[in-house]
Amino acid sequence: MTQYVHPGLDISAADIVKSGKPLYPRVPRDSDAASIKVEPDVTPTPVERRNEILAAPGFGKYFTDHLVMATWTREAGWGDARLVGSDSSAGGHAMNALHYGQSIFEGLKAYRQEDGSVWTFRPEANSLRFQRSAYRLALPPVPTDLFIGAIEALVRQDIDWVSDDPEKSLYLRPLEFGAENALGVKPSDKVQFVLIASPVGAYFSGGVKPVKVWISEEFVRAAPGGTGEAKCAGNYAASLLAQQDAAAKGCDQVVWMDALERRYIEEMGGMNLFFVYGFGADARVVTPALTGTLLPGVTRDSLLTLAGDLGYAVEEGKISVDQWREGATSGEITEVFACGTAAVITPVGSVESKNYGSWTMGNGEPGPISMQLRAALVDIQTGHAPDVHNWMHRIS
Ligand code: COI
């Protein structure tokens, strides 16, 4: 059986961080030509309807007129990359992804700046993580040229779907899945790469409103050696029951602990967590270290850099639930927030649990450092602050 080539991708994010190398280095592109055939043979959404959607898009409810797809086969590798109408479909009911979950995805956004230009944020980082997720799921890596070329082609085609409201953006969802129609349990011989786009506003209704979280003591999100570090569909499927449990307890989101000791905080729902110790210029910003079971968030990585730029002490460490409760109660931990591409930064207002008690973070309102970090990130993304780290990628 032909093996895929995964040069350098079989190193876990945890090991990269341990080695002191950057998790998401800038990857030079081989060429600009991803050779995507443009076949936009669709009737576009009428302008009035599109404007109606853009006025109140919600999150992930509407999709633009087109998508990009490319196919990999074991014999021929990647090919047949094309931009087509968004109702094009890529498989049948026997597809490997539907039965055995050989499926990964990414999330990134395109932002319109005041001069009308459209940009994405760190697409190479998403491409690299997509390739590492592919390695873990025995999928072939999508070349960075194809990944970024698809983004450029789709955003340029559907550019009118990028709102000029700085609180809105175009969410880009690359996905890759086993598309062979066969029921044998083995890596798929046919794989599909698809990129879809959805105009979005705030991820949580109510915008930047603190959430109430439920610490799950019954379920775990990921165990060492599992797929926690990969952005794979199965991780999200496995989270839904715990999320439902949290909702039944009157909470907005579930917080995960580590699988081995069931003590250390890992993530909130599908987002990374940050803890702020102290106040003002002396504050220390701490996030759970990447152990192999956490998703190495691009927003997490960017906030670690921005917090350092703002002069805060920054640390990747281990925080137990007991330390969280005691730190919040004593006032040592002043703010906690979750972060991700979709919601950017979401403050945690209060915590509930079965055996660890309940507590409130500060006065339950968004903390000043959480909001400062959010503004620092969003200002770069929307062109209101200089892009000193060269994170932005111009599309149009
Ligand atoms: C993100 O924050 O981008 C996520 O991954 C959440 C997404 C699954 C909606």
| Ligand 1 site-directed mutation target among 232, 271, 337, most atoms within 8 Å of CB | 271
User: Where along the chain do the CATH 3.30.470.10 domains lie?
Assistant: 13-23+32-94, 100-200
User: Where along the chain do the CATH 3.20.10.10 domains lie?
Assistant: 211-390
Q: Is residue 107 in contact with ligand 1, taking CB distance under 6 Å?
A: yes
For helices 144-157 and 123-136, give the axis angle rounded to 10 degrees.
Answer: 130
CA of 108, closest atom in ligand 1: 3
d(C-alpha 335, C-alpha 283), whole Å: 10
> 13-23+32-94, what's its fold?
D-amino Acid Aminotransferase; Chain A, domain 1 (3.30.470)
Which of the following CATH numbers is that of domain 211-390: 3.10.290.10, 3.20.10.10, 3.40.720.10, 3.30.70.260? 3.20.10.10
d(C-alpha 172, C-alpha 357), whole Å: 39
For helices 368-381 and 298-309, give the axis angle rounded to 10 degrees.
Answer: 110
What is the Cβ-side half-sphere exposure of residue 233, based on CA atoms within 13 angstroms? 15
pLDDT at 30: 56
132: nearest Cα among 143, 145, 141: 141
Contact by Cβ (8 Å): 142, 128:
no
> 100-200, what's its fold?
D-amino Acid Aminotransferase; Chain A, domain 1 (3.30.470)
What is the Cβ-side half-sphere exposure of residue 34, based on CA atoms within 13 angstroms? 24
Nearest alpha carbon, ligand 1 atom 8? 270
Low-confidence ranges of the chain (pLDDT < 70): 1-5, 7, 27-34
CA of 203, closest atom in ligand 1: 9
pLDDT at 181: 95
Provide the 10 A C-beta neighbour count for residue 237.
11
CA of 59, closest atom in ligand 1: 9
pLDDT at 5: 60
HEC string of the chain?
Answer: CCCCCCCCCCCCHHHHHHHCCCCCCCCCCCCCCCCCEECCCCCCCCHHHHHHHHHCCCCCCCCCCEEEEEEEECCCEEEEEEEEECCCCCCCCCEHHHHHCCEEECCEEEEECCCCCEEEECHHHHHHHHHHHHHHCCCCCCCHHHHHHHHHHHHHHCHHHCCCCCCCEEEEEEEEEECCECCCCCCCCEEEEEEEEEEECCCCCCCCCCEEEEECCCCCCCCCCCCCCCCEHHHHHHHHHHHHHHHHCCCCEEEEECCCCCCEEEEECCEEEEEEECCHHHCEEEEECCCCCCCCCHHHHHHHHHHHHCCCEEEEECCEHHHHHHHHHHCCEEEEEEEECCCEEEEEEEEECCCCCCEECCCCCCCHHHHHHHHHHHHHHCCCCCCCCCCEEECC
Distant-in-sequence, close-in-space partners of 82: CB < 8 Å, separation ≥ 6: 36, 37, 38, 39, 68, 69, 70
Q: Is residue 341 in contact with ligand 1, taking CB distance under 6 Å?
A: yes
pLDDT at 31: 55
Nearest alpha carbon, ligand 1 atom 7? 342
Distant-in-sequence, close-in-space partners of 282: CB < 8 Å, separation ≥ 6: none
Q: Which amino acid is at 280?
A: G
| Ligand 1 site-directed mutation target among 105, 341, 345, most atoms within 8 Å of CB | 341
Nearest alpha carbon, ligand 1 atom 9? 342
pTM for this one?
0.95
Rounded distance from Cα 331 to ligand 1 centre (Å): 30
Q: Is residue 271 in contact with ligand 1, taking CB distance under 6 Å?
A: yes
79: nearest Cα among 129, 140, 122, 31: 140
